[in-house]
Amino acid sequence: MGNFDFVKTEWPQIHEPCARAESYVASDPRAACFYARRAVELLVTYLYDLKGYPTPYRDDLSARINAPEFTAGTGPKVAAKLNYLRKLGNDAVHQDRTIGPRDALGALKELFHVMISAAFFNFAHPDNVPTGRQFDPQLARRAAPLTAEEVQRLAQKFQEQDRKHREELERSRQEMAEKDAVIARLREEIAAGQAAKTVKDDHDYREEETRDRFIDLLLREAGWPLDDPRDREYPVTGMPTSSGRGRVDYVLWGSNGLPLAVVEAKRTRRSAEAGRDQARYYADALERETGQRPLIFYTNGQDHHLWDDAMGYPPRPISGFLTEDELGRLIARRRTRTPLSEEPINTGTAGRDYQQRAIRAVDAAFDAKRREALLVMATGTGKTRTVIALVEQLTKAHWAKNVLFLADRTALVEQAEEAFAKNLPDSGGIVNLLESRSGAGRIYLSTYPTILNLIQQKDDTGRRFGPGYFDLIIVDEAHRSVYDKYREIFEYFDAYLIGLTATPKEEVDRNTYELFGQEEGVPTDAYTLDEAIADGWLVPPQSVSFEGQYLRRGIRYADLTEDEKAEWDALEWDENGEIPDAVSAEQVNKILFNAPTVDNVLTTLMEQGRKVADGDRLGKTIIFAKSQRHAEFILERFEKLWPELGGRFAQVITHHSYAPRQAIKDFIVKDSTPHLAISVDMLDTGIDAPAVVNLVFFKDVHSPTKFWQMIGRGTRPCEDLYGPGQDKEDFFVFDFCGNLEYFNQQMEATQGSTQPSMSTRLFLTRAQILQALDVDAPDADARAGAADTRAVHADWLHRTVAGMNLENPLVRRHRFAVEKYSDAASWHRLDTAAVEELEPLAQLPTAVTDPDVDAKRFDILLLRGQLARLTADESTWESVALTVQEIAGKLEELFRIDAVRRHAELIQELTTEEWWQDATVAMLEQTRTTLRGVVRLIAKTRRNPVYTDFVDTLGTATPVELRQVTPGLNAKRFKEKATAYLREHEDDIALQKLRRGRQLTPSDLESLERMLVQAGGGAEDIERAKQTDGGLGVFIRSLVGLERAAVMEKFTEFLDEGRNSADQIRFVRMIVDELVERGVMEPGRLFEDPYTAKSSKGPELYFPPERVIQLADRLREVNLRARVPEAS
């Protein structure tokens, strides 16, 4: 007697591999797992034939098990067991790892559960199924073991048999017909038997055992074979229990025999947090036993946490387990990792003070056990160089080995690749994942979609990028779409996270701050456009806005002259000959291209734009165009107006251009052609063109992130642009579409949400309809006859969730909810809590897809109507009715098509007001299902591009001061001019007192202020100098410094050779040198570079605490002498 004898009565062909599997359970675990998989394969094939399930997108076992129709039929719990047996069988055939008796016994137990369930629900005589039994190893017959080669040969043999069988079925129509007849009779017998069964399915499917095996699979995916007895249930002592003993669920051992991690698994439906303290005690016990403290994992099968308490980190969520190498790196860093505050910065890469400040801010955050940082740095200030220096620092300090750099565009990835190769040539390899998916290195660069796809891919060797693969992720231009679309990337990888953005910090949305673990409005560090301009690293814009008639208000037929109306009427607007009454401002330069409008813009540019070559040539200019056709029309008009400039002065540079990368390289060279680049999106971001002095906004922009990136195309300085010694000091912004005014508004902080995808909206709207039907609907009439409608929506939602593959790492994190709602019973009633629970599932990948975009749009429209009807949302109801009536009117014009004409009665009714007055949810659902397949036949009315010659005016130019830029601000230039003047007038009494460290009076300050005015300082410059820390006197002394004799006199006590060591003297002389050069020095500088070059303790390394205080007091006294004392 065997465990699977009950299968033999009705499924003899499936019984055979079941019996073979149990016969090898003790003697040959690998063969047992192989035959268990074979039994699953035959069972699934049989159920597909029996139930008539559609063939999935890929006809293999994995796709069949995970197809939504199949999962819905078997239930998610049985499907999980089938997947477990499939994967274990694959390992038995294809992997070299040990398959032990525990694996085989687990496989046979799961196979038994599967067969019990399948037989109970699909036998013609279900009462014969022994639901009260469990698998008994003692009943298994013994068979001689097979070699691994024999197992592989058997697998190949069965594959060949299956292939030939499929070919024979395809060739034999008659055999197929006979098979269909047999299946039909079998279905009748099974239906009768199922209807007559008298027992319930009271079988215990041992879900907790399945949970443990699911954890086993995740561990194996991370490379842990678990084939050593000490890997599981490892005994430890010293536990806080009555016996003092305990058993660790899993111990992950290193090759040196020391524990790398413990894993504590709690019951599936309990919180993973329940295992936290228990896992800590296990780690304590193993540390006492081995001398090495392991890392701590605790899990409930869905939610996993990693606790690196030895390094002082709190527990954190993690999407899976780490490999041996990854755990080994974390353990090794306990010895090798050094504080980032002590690690020098490569000033050759990031030599500017604000770049080093940003790096130190990240250092401080990471040293304080934070794992995220957000840097706000204006475009052109060297964000990439800053993070390259950070990567080098983190690598040398043993914080990071593998780094991932993410950007949203291919061009930015390529640019970053060049920057890393240039500035970090010894990084250990740079891999552009857009070009080499299998390359190996240390620095990886990718776009978001590419890495998201790679996360979900897996081959026979496992996942290439597991959760612990990267130590650091850098997000270039972090903004709301990253939060909405790609948050899964950062939740999947267990890595430090650094976000970069050029968007002003007050305009960064709050979800971006949340993603990078920052308080709203408080990034890790910020270096603004205003600061960069003040420091002379960037140049400011001179912005002017034009109130163009057509560009701002569009064109109305009624406003045209008679000649223009005639031209308007003669245009071929579309294939139907329909002539519009107006063209909106949005459609100007999209479907209507008016030559005078373009000519006005170009003429303004050529007359008022910044010139180079002694004023003879327009400086480098970018025109931001609305579309490819718009860009081409601009070029056409330019060459018509200025033919003498030849065909190379201006050029369209877009993704559709020939060799656009080469065109960009030519453009950024200061004196080469083209001088005028007309771009659509391609030059908005990611290019460094210092010679650009004119930007033309010939389109409207709605994203603040994009707007400031576009402004950043002109902010780079350029030496000798206008001639020797005549540097670029500003650039010109011409705005013809209202962008300057729009972005100068005080905008309220945004939540950072964007429009959900169509599939997400379909899912959520259906769920909300069920909630309204079950709980909320106030209108009983609206619900009339809605039972069938509810069943349709519940079935669609059920199939969609059932089609979510739990092997996908994006789905795994929601395993409990997916399993719950893969059960049809969960859809019997939905309340508010259920809809909230379903929201995260709406965005997950599923096998249920619909490629008909037009049909899905129609679905959303009618579903919104159903929800509006149920919730008494009159506004939405009226909007839906008007839109559907318009669609019905267009369908009426297609009655010549049979597929449309057969629904003529419904279509005509939809155009009437009467139909909508009494419409119910059921009527709307019938309309949706009836017409969704024909709405795609409605021809999209496409406007032909039309070219006109209507008189247009630009209006007067209005200067606009951008809120992010203080007008006239260039502190670096001001400082240079002031320093030169002051050096020439060192004999001034007030200046001498300042340089000699004497106390200043109010009249001295007035004299110094007059000197700044004479040096060419404007009111803004001087006011800014007064507002600096310390006031005007400190500002001027920072320019001219202090006399060495005055400083030496102040520090004589510290320079007493008899009382101080050589190191102490050298330290104080560093202070003297700085005061002589800069005039001021705050006491806090004593704990900064270069005073901390030998130790982070700074002066405390050389002086006792009381003398450090004396040193700081003298610095304060020196600084105070540059201030006027307040009246007492």
Q: Residue 566: its pLDDT value, please?
A: 86
- Tell me the mean pLDDT in the region 532-547: 88
Helix extents (H) in 839-958: 853-871, 874-892, 898-901, 904-910, 913-917, 921-931
Paired with 225 in beta bridges are none
- Tell me the mean pLDDT in the region 218-230: 88
The CATH number of 211-336 is: 3.90.1570.30
- The kind and range of the H/E element at 561 are none
Q: Residue 1058: its pLDDT value, please?
A: 46
Q: What angle do CA 1062, 1068, 1073 make, to 5 degrees?
A: 120
* HEC assignment per residue over 119-147: HHHHCCCHHHCCCCCCCCHHHCCCCCCCC
- Tell me the mean pLDDT in the region 999-1023: 67
Instruction: Judge contact between 525 and 357, C-beta under 8 A.
Output: yes
Same fold across 211-336 and 340-515: no
Q: In sequence order, what are the residues at sequence separation of 6 or more whose Cβ sits closer than 8 angstroms to the Cβ of residue 930?
A: 903, 906
Q: Residue 751: its pLDDT value, please?
A: 44
Cα 1072 from Cα 1066, distance rounded (Å): 10
pLDDT surpasses 80 at 697: yes
The residue type found at 546 is F
Q: Show the tokens assigned to 503.
A: 């968007």
Q: How confident is the model at residue 1128 (pLDDT cuts 50, 70, 90)?
A: very low
Q: Residue 1006: its pLDDT value, please?
A: 75
Q: Show the tokens assigned to 61.
A: 């076992």
- Tell me the mean pLDDT in the region 353-374: 91
How do residues 1-29 score in pLDDT, each as one tens digit? 789 999 998 999 999 999 999 988 888 88
Spell 749-770 as b/e; 16+ CB within 10 A means b.
eeebeeeeeebebbbbbbbbbb
Distance of CA 818 to the CA centre of its chain: 23
Q: With 0-12 CB in 10 A as exposed, 13-18 as middle and 19+ as buried, what is 1110? A: middle
Instruction: Judge contact between 696 and 605, C-beta under 8 A.
Output: yes
Closest by Cα among 1074, 1076, 1110, 1114 to 1091: 1074
How do residues 851-866 score in pLDDT, each as one tens digit? 888 899 999 999 999 9
pLDDT surpasses 50 at 488: yes
More confident residue, 986 or 70: 70
Q: Show the tokens assigned to 491.
A: 């939740």
pLDDT surpasses 70 at 715: yes
- The kind and range of the H/E element at 366 are helix 353-367
More confident residue, 1019 or 1090: 1090
Q: How many CA atoms lie within 13 A of 712 on its CB side?
A: 26
Q: Residue 942: its pLDDT value, please?
A: 58
Q: How confident is the model at residue 290 (pLDDT cuts 50, 70, 90)?
A: very high
Closest by Cα among 210, 321, 316 to 273: 316
Cα 1054 from Cα 1064, distance rounded (Å): 8
The CATH number of 541-743 is: 3.40.50.300
Q: Residue 198: its pLDDT value, please?
A: 63
Q: Show the tokens assigned to 691.
A: 């010679």
Is 676 in a helix, a strand, or coil?
A: strand
Closest by Cα among 706, 645, 652 to 501: 706
Q: In sequence order, what are the residues at sequence separation of 6 or more whose Cβ sits closer than 8 angstroms to the Cβ of residue 62?
A: 83, 86, 807
Q: Show the tokens assigned to 811.
A: 């789905």
Tally helices (H) and strands (E) across the chain: 46, 26
Lowest-confidence pick of 146-150, 462-466, 632-636 = 146-150
Closest by Cα among 764, 696, 403 to 551: 696
Instruction: Judge contact between 35 and 17, C-beta under 8 A.
Output: yes
Q: In sequence order, what are the residues at sequence separation of 6 or more whose Cβ sits closer than 8 angstroms to the Cβ of residue 469?
A: 326, 402, 493
Q: Residue 974: its pLDDT value, please?
A: 53
Q: How confident is the model at residue 1057 (pLDDT cuts 50, 70, 90)?
A: very low
User: In the β-sheet with 692-697, what is the strand arrangement from edge to edge?
Assistant: 650-653, 676-679, 620-624, 692-697, 731-735, 541-546, 957-960
Q: How many CA atoms lie within 13 A of 745 on its CB side?
A: 10
Q: Indicate the domain borders of the chain.
A: 5-205, 211-336, 340-515, 541-743, 758-937, 971-1120
Which single residue is written with the structure tokens 């505050």? 341
CATH superfamily of 340-515: P-loop containing nucleotide triphosphate hydrolases (3.40.50.300)
How do residues 875-907 score in pLDDT, each as one tens digit? 899 999 999 998 998 898 888 888 888 999 999
Distances (CA, A) of 546 to 150, 582, 733, 736, 956: 81, 22, 11, 5, 6
Spell 239-262 as b/e; 16+ CB within 10 A means b.
beeeeeebebbbbbbbeeeebbbb
Average pLDDT, the chain: 83
Instruction: Judge contact between 777 and 789, C-beta under 8 A.
Output: no
Is the preceding omega at residue 540 within 30 degrees of 0, hence cis? no
Lowest-confidence pick of 213-227, 380-394, 707-721, 1049-1063 = 1049-1063
Instruction: Judge contact between 445 and 413, C-beta under 8 A.
Output: yes
pLDDT surpasses 60 at 835: yes
- Tell me the mean pLDDT in the region 1041-1045: 69
What is the chain's percent helix, strand, coil content, to nearest 5?
Answer: 55, 10, 35
More confident residue, 1059 or 721: 721
- Tell me the mean pLDDT in the region 319-339: 95
Q: Show the tokens assigned to 803.
A: 């089609």
Closest by Cα among 700, 566, 552, 692 to 618: 692
Q: Residue 420: its pLDDT value, please?
A: 94
Cα 306 from Cα 283, distance rounded (Å): 13
How do residues 1012-1039 score in pLDDT, each as one tens digit? 666 656 565 666 666 665 566 666 666 6
* Backbone Cα Rg of the chain: 37
